[in-house]
Each structure stands twice: as C-alpha cells, then as structure tokens.
Amino acid sequence: MFIIFVTGCSVVTRNVASNYFKTTIDKNMERISIESDFSLVLSMDVIHINDEVRRAYTEEYAKLYLLTPDEKEKMLKEQERQNKRWEAFYLIVYTAPNMDSSLDSPDSIWRLYLKADNHIEPPASIDEITSQRDIMKGFFPWINSWDRVYLVRFKKQPVEHSNKIKFIVTGILGRGEANFKGG
C-alpha cells in the first residue's frame, strides 16, 4: 500500500528594489576612497538622505511591507518632518582589517564635517545602525559583513539655503569629499 501526501506549494521570491529606488540612490550617492601607501584604508559610500531619497524609500518600504494608504501617509509625514530638521546621510563604511572603523567614538581617527558655502558644521549625531541591519541590507544589497552602517545627522541650519554641500571625512590617514546638491 502506498500513501501519497500532497501538500500545498508556495513560491518564495526575494524582493528586489525597484528601478526607481535604485536610480534615486545612485543619483544621491558618492563613494569616498582613501589610500595610504597604495593600500585602501577607508571606503565610504555616502548617501545623501534628501527629500527625493526619503520619498523613494517610503514608496519602496510601503510596497515591500504592504502598508495601508494611512500608514504610508504617516510615514511620508515623518520623513518630511525629519527632512526639515536634519541634513542626513547614510554611510556604508569599510576600513582595512587592522583599523578601527568606528565613527561614533570620540576617539575615532576620522572626523566628519558638512561644508556649505564657507561654513563647516560637525555632525549633531553619528549613530551606528545595528538593529535594522537586515532591513538596510535589503535596501542596499552591497552591504556586507565587514561594513559598518551609520546614520549621520547635521543641523539643517545654516546649510539649507546652499546650492552645494560637501560631505568631508578627514583624519591622519587622509581626507575625502563627496559633493551633493544642496537646498
């Protein structure tokens, strides 16, 4: 006697970021590479979290997590509120294996600044993203196990009226800059 068990089938698919989201990120990202003695000591993808990126992120998040229209609207309003308050950046950072890559430590060998016109501003906050790392990897699939991911916020004043802003990372081993559209 043969017993046949039939179970339901399901299809598992991996969500992939939309072309709109990828294009928006590509337009608002710069890579900084610093070398010393012909060796890479720091690689940093700098993503400017401006209004355009915030809208694209909200659209993508709402699509992936099947948000209701009310939930999506609430998320959009929060993103708008954050955008009015901060000039923000995601940093995806890789450093040489024997080097400390912590940017959020007061003893970090790296310093971060935002320059607009002739004003240089230090960050208001630098937070390593650890609790939502899997979500970040879903949106930014090039993040790997050796990278650290940070959210860096600068005061909106006095940079909000500048046409161009410059993100600066500097330290004893070198300096790098990423230029973005301001305002």
Q: Give the pLDDT confidence of 78-123 residue by residue, as tens digits.
A: 999 999 999 999 999 988 777 776 888 888 899 999 999 888 999 9
| Residue 151 resides in a domain | yes
- Three-class HEC string of 11-52: CCCCCCCCHHHHHHHHHCEEEEEEEECCEEEEEEEEEEECHH
What is the mean predicted confidence (pLDDT) over 118-144?
86
pLDDT of residue 65: 92
CB 147 within 8 A of CB 94: yes
Residue 90, in any domain of the structure: yes
Query: Is 40 domain-assigned?
Result: yes
The number of folded domains in the chain is 1
Question: Is 54 inside any structural domain?
Answer: no
Distance from the Cα of residue 106 to its chain's centroid:
21
Q: How far is CA 87 from its chain centroid?
A: 12
Mean pLDDT to the nearest integer, 3-28: 70
The structure tokens listed for 92 are: 């995806």
Which pLDDT does position 126 carry in this prediction? 96
